[in-house]
Amino acid sequence: MEKSIKDISLLLLLTSILSILEISPAIDTISTTQSLKDGDTLVSSGGTFELGFFSPGDSKNRYVGIWYKKVPSITAVWVLNREIPLNSRSGILKFNELGHLVLVNDTNNLLWSSNTSRIARTPILQLLDSGNLVLREANDDNLENFLWQSFDYLSDTYLPGMNFGWNAATGVQNYLSSWTSNEDPAPGDLTFYLDPTGYPQVFIKRGTGAIYRMGPWNGLRFSGTPYVSPTFRHGIFKNKNTTYYREDSNDKSVISRVTLNQSGVVQRWVWVDRTRGWVLYLTVPKDDCDTYSDCGAYGTCYIGNSPACGCLSKFQPKDPEGWNKGDWSNGCIRRTPLNCQEGDVFLKYSSVKLPDAQYSTYNESMTLDESEVKCLQNCSCMAYSQLDISRGSGCLFWFRELIDIRDMSSDGQDIYIRMASSELDSKGKRNILVATLTSSIGVVLLGLSLMLYFWKRSKKKKNEPKGKIGGTHSESHEKDLDLPLFDLYTISKATDNFSINNKLGEGGFGPVYKGMLEEGQDIAVKRLSKTSMQGLDEFKNEVICIAKLQHRNLVRLLGCCIQGEEIMLIYEYMPNKSLDLFLFDQTKSKLLDWEKRFQIVNGIARGIMYLHQDSRLRIIHRDLKASNILLDTDMNPKISDFGIARSFRGNETEDKTNRVVGTYGYMSPEYAVHGRYSIKSDVFSFGVLVLEIVSGKRNSGFSKGDQHLDLLGHVIVVPSIYLRVNIVSKTNLSGEVH
Ligand SMILES: *[C@@H]1O[C@H](CO)[C@@H](O)[C@H](O)[C@H]1NC(C)=O
Ligand SMILES: *[C@@H]1O[C@H](CO)[C@@H](O)[C@H](O)[C@H]1NC(C)=O
Ligand SMILES: *[C@@H]1O[C@H](CO)[C@@H](O)[C@H](O)[C@H]1NC(C)=O
Ligand SMILES: *[C@@H]1O[C@H](CO)[C@@H](O)[C@H](O)[C@H]1NC(C)=O
Ligand SMILES: *[C@@H]1O[C@H](CO)[C@@H](O)[C@H](O)[C@H]1NC(C)=O
Ligand SMILES: *[C@@H]1O[C@H](CO)[C@@H](O)[C@H](O)[C@H]1NC(C)=O
């Protein structure tokens, strides 16, 4: 009895506390009889957005803006009076007698008006949970029939649900414009907008000059721009009067925005939580090769080269003198001029960002074969390519010089360029083949000799400061990842709720599952086991290494998923799994003929060369072995598992560690014994790998006669001349390995 009385009084106390706290319940709407003063706010029904008066940065001026309710410091996604600030806290937002929304100060001077064309009788203003501030008739049953909406007047921020583009009927162009400064939201000189001429593309411009172009939309993304997370449904929408880009979030709890900053950089941000704040998932332009048309017509930009600009193959600089001085603006011309009357041909150029499509036409139903015929018929048709790579249909035709092309390695597309028919001879092809053959044999021999050299000389070392990737998990690292974020729901669905049937195996830091995304792409999902602390380090290391690298011989990371306790990495799926499963399996090894083996060695060498020399980070993998080489459908090798990789700055080449990690058998002696590693450690492992590939024997499991040597020991002891003879003689055995 006594207890229940206590309970009741406690309940009463709680209710009264709650009613005190809730002085003014959050509202999302104001009507003609109400107004919004400085200090009042509207909160959208789901509690995502808030509208009110604020002062940006250190400014004293007041602006009406919309920001995130849940994000502690004001992140304004939209500003109403961008150009006409209030200089006091006297602003009032209300309706005038015409039903226009107006912003006035306390002397009733008009600062801003919504100027709706239709006169509204009983208008209301509502802040929707999408962040859209809308004006509509209170008694209109159609909730989408807006008299005015803030989504038609963008600031520097794109939010899911906005139509970003062009409406020919109303003449309204919806684009982002940068703020003038952190204190002043007035439009600066940078814009980010969709250009519907030719085929829709998105540009960043300073004034009227383009500084970056997102290539034509290819059904999945803008050509030349990194893959966007399937957390969003997105695409280009076209009808008679309008062309726009739009994305909608599949998961309303994901807070995401795209901004244009005052240096002309477009970034996608995702809010994680109070401790980690806004995390960066995409930045464009991302490197020098993204600068609009930097290499001129028919020039291509390859970030691994120095200088980065080059001519497309079979093209030469138009002005060789200027070109050599670094002036690429004149671009390149065909080394053999076109001759349309005598018949031209189309040559395929792969892995590029498609050129500027302002002067192009398209057909959404044509096949590639039909396109070739169509393009051949018109002498001014310079190139064609597939329009929609997700459906494999449609065609885009170019009618001017091709500009703003760059090399994209695995994210690029194919384009077919009109060339003189004499460029199609087989002699040219043979030359290219011979050149790559000699160079890759060179790489293999270099690898072997370096390995032998290093076996003997493992002295004379100096310690240098290191640019370690793992270990220190500073904010800046996490903020620096241009990595798409997948949501848990998507991944769970793709892997059939992490079904045991989909489990591929157990990786360094947890199980690996196979999955399929809704759009049909196969993926492999590495799931961090909750207990693994070391796993977390390796996970971060892997993300940092591989997210920044792209090469056709490195496994590609599609994104990650961090939600609650779940941490996962999502990769492209490799149907042929890893090299060791072929190499050391009696039946499967027969599938690897010498040509394939050569191609694999060659690919691995290229991948390592990229890691060591050509990539932005100088990376030492430290765990190269057959099981870390994955094979795609065409048996192309891809280096994987960067869990213990290390990066070096600039010209540093060597480091030392107390914690020797990696795989014995592949480790160079000075690393295994003294913990010293450098790019040469990888070359050593590569050498072991080459031996395994040519011999088909495991280094560790190898024994011959009564010698207690592993494969490596065997090779070192046996004179190298024997090795060479042996390899040569084996090449005659049509793929059979003994
Ligand atoms: C109200 O706005 C007018 C016009 O912009 C300005 O001249 C006046 O000083 C403002 N009054 C106050 C109190 O801010
Ligand atoms: C709205 O109309 C008024 C009066 O015609 C004009 O002065 C003002 O610039 C207009 N405002 C906007 C935002 O178009
Ligand atoms: C396109 O605009 C014209 C007027 O400019 C209009 O009559 C027509 O209905 C619009 N079509 C669509 C699909 O919106
Ligand atoms: C814009 O973003 C880039 C990349 O994060 C940054 O380097 C630059 O300083 C930013 N510009 C301004 C004005 O904040
Ligand atoms: C597109 O190509 C198809 C097949 O060649 C053709 O039937 C159709 O008329 C073309 N459409 C346009 C708009 O040119
Ligand atoms: C070639 O295509 C261009 C662009 O579509 C067009 O203007 C021109 O008339 C065409 N020429 C011929 C001969 O069909």
Answer whether 639's CB lies under 8 Å from 606's CB. Answer: no
pLDDT tens for each residue of 210-261: 999 999 999 888 998 876 666 778 889 988 889 999 999 878 888 999 999 9
pLDDT at site 184: 96
Answer whether 463's CB lies under 8 Å from 657's CB. Answer: no
pLDDT band at 668 (very low <50, low <70, confident <90, very high): confident
Provide the token pair at 583.
Answer: 């190499």
pLDDT tens for each residue of 363-373: 999 999 999 99
Distance 520 CA to ligand 2 centre (A): 50
**pTM (2 d.p.):** 0.62
Ligand 5 atom 13, closest CA: 363
Mutate to test the pocket of ligand 2, among 113, 149, 152, 153 (most ligand atoms within 8 A of CB): 113
For residue 380, pLDDT over 60 is answered with yes
Mutate to test the pocket of ligand 2, among 115, 148, 150 (most ligand atoms within 8 A of CB): 115
Distance 50 CA to ligand 3 centre (A): 35
pLDDT at site 660: 64
Q: Which of 423, 433, 349, 346 is nearest to 382 (CA)?
A: 346
**Strand order, beta sheet including 157-158:** 157-158, 256-260, 266-271, 278-284
For residue 575, pLDDT over 80 is answered with yes
Q: Which of 150, 37, 148, 141 is nearest to 99 (CA)?
A: 148
Query: Residue 83: nearest ligand to its CA?
Result: 2
Q: Report which secondary-structure segment, H or E, holds 187.
A: strand 184-195
In this structure, the residues whose C-beta lies within 6 A of any atom of ligand 5 are 363, 365-366, 370
Provide the token pair at 595.
Answer: 């040509």
Answer whether 300's CB lies under 8 Å from 311's CB. Answer: yes
Q: What is the mean pLDDT of residues 168-177?
A: 87
- Distance between CA atoms of 619 and 294, rounded to whole angstroms? 28
Ligand 4 atom 3, closest CA: 265
Provide the token pair at 230.
Answer: 């399937």
pLDDT tens for each residue of 691-719: 889 888 887 765 555 455 567 666 655 44
pLDDT at site 129: 94
What letter does residue 479 receive in the DSSP assignment? H
- Distance between CA atoms of 359 and 572, rounded to whole angstroms? 34
The angle, 0 to 180 degrees and rounded to 10, between the axes of the packed helices 426-456 and 679-695 is: 110
pLDDT at site 205: 97
Mutate to test the pocket of ligand 3, among 172, 241, 242 (most ligand atoms within 8 A of CB): 241
Q: What is the mean pLDDT of residues 402-414?
A: 88
Ligand 3 atom 14, closest CA: 241
Ligand 6 atom 10, closest CA: 378
Query: Residue 90: nearest ligand to its CA?
Result: 1
Distance 57 CA to ligand 4 centre (A): 16
Answer whether 385's CB lies under 8 Å from 442's CB. Answer: no
Instruction: Name the residue with higher pLDDT: 309 or 723.
Output: 309
Distance 79 CA to ligand 1 centre (A): 19
pLDDT band at 293 (very low <50, low <70, confident <90, very high): very high
Burial class (CB in 10 A: 0-12, 13-18, 19+), 367: middle
Q: Which atom of ligand 1 is nearest to the CA of 111?
A: 5
In this structure, the residues whose C-beta lies within 6 A of any atom of ligand 6 are 361, 378, 380, 399
Following CA atoms 536, 538, 543, 545 in sequence, which dihedral angle do they give, to the nearest 10 degrees? Answer: 160
For residue 562, pLDDT over 90 is answered with no
For residue 613, pLDDT over 70 is answered with yes
pLDDT tens for each residue of 481-533: 567 788 888 888 888 888 888 888 776 667 889 998 887 788 999 887 766 55
Alpha-helical (H) ranges within 675-710 are: 679-695
- Distance between CA atoms of 607 and 545, rounded to whole angstroms? 14
In this structure, the residues whose C-beta lies within 6 A of any atom of ligand 4 are 261-263, 265, 283
> Which amino acid makes up residue 117?
S
Q: What is the mean pLDDT of residues 190-214?
A: 94
Identify the structural domains of the chain with CATH numbers, from first to last. Answer: 22-146 (2.90.10.10), 154-286 (no CATH), 290-424 (no CATH), 428-462+473-572 (3.30.200.20), 579-737 (1.10.510.10)
Minimum mean pLDDT range among 420-424, 559-563, 596-600, 661-665: 661-665
For residue 723, pLDDT over 60 is answered with no
pLDDT tens for each residue of 414-432: 999 999 988 886 544 433 3
For residue 338, pLDDT over 60 is answered with yes
In this structure, the residues whose C-beta lies within 6 A of any atom of ligand 1 are 87-88, 90, 105-107, 109
Mutate to test the pocket of ligand 4, among 260, 265, 283, 482 (most ligand atoms within 8 A of CB): 265
Ligand 6 atom 13, closest CA: 378
Ligand 4 atom 2, closest CA: 265
For residue 179, pLDDT over 90 is answered with yes
SS3 of residue 451 by DSSP: helix
Q: Is 251 a catalytic residue?
A: no
Answer whether 233's CB lies under 8 Å from 252's CB. Answer: no
Catalytic residue among 195, 623, 641, 710: 623
Cα distances from 209 to residues 52, 206, 329, in angstroms, run 35, 5, 15
What letter does residue 425 receive in the DSSP assignment? -
Minimum mean pLDDT range among 18-27, 60-69, 110-119: 18-27
- Distance between CA atoms of 45 and 39, rounded to whole angstroms? 19
Burial class (CB in 10 A: 0-12, 13-18, 19+), 119: exposed
Q: Is 96 in the pocket of ligand 2 (CB under 6 A)?
A: no
pLDDT at site 703: 55
pLDDT at site 273: 86
pLDDT at site 651: 62
pLDDT at site 738: 37
Q: Which of 622, 713, 716 is nearest to 676 (CA)?
A: 622
For residue 682, pLDDT over 80 is answered with yes
Q: Report which secondary-structure segment, H or E, holds 634.
A: none
For residue 344, pLDDT over 60 is answered with yes
Query: Residue 399: nearest ligand to its CA?
Result: 6
Query: Residue 113: nearest ligand to its CA?
Result: 2
Query: Residue 180: nearest ligand to its CA?
Result: 4
Distance 113 CA to ligand 2 centre (A): 6
pLDDT at site 329: 92
Instruction: Name the residue with higher pLDDT: 307 or 23.
Output: 307
pLDDT band at 450 (very low <50, low <70, confident <90, very high): very low
Instruction: Name the residue with higher pLDDT: 24 or 435.
Output: 24
Q: Is 171 in the pocket of ligand 3 (CB under 6 A)?
A: no
Following CA atoms 431, 607, 282, 577 in sequence, which dihedral angle do they give, to the nearest 10 degrees? Answer: 110
What share of the chain has pLDDT > 70, as a percent? 79
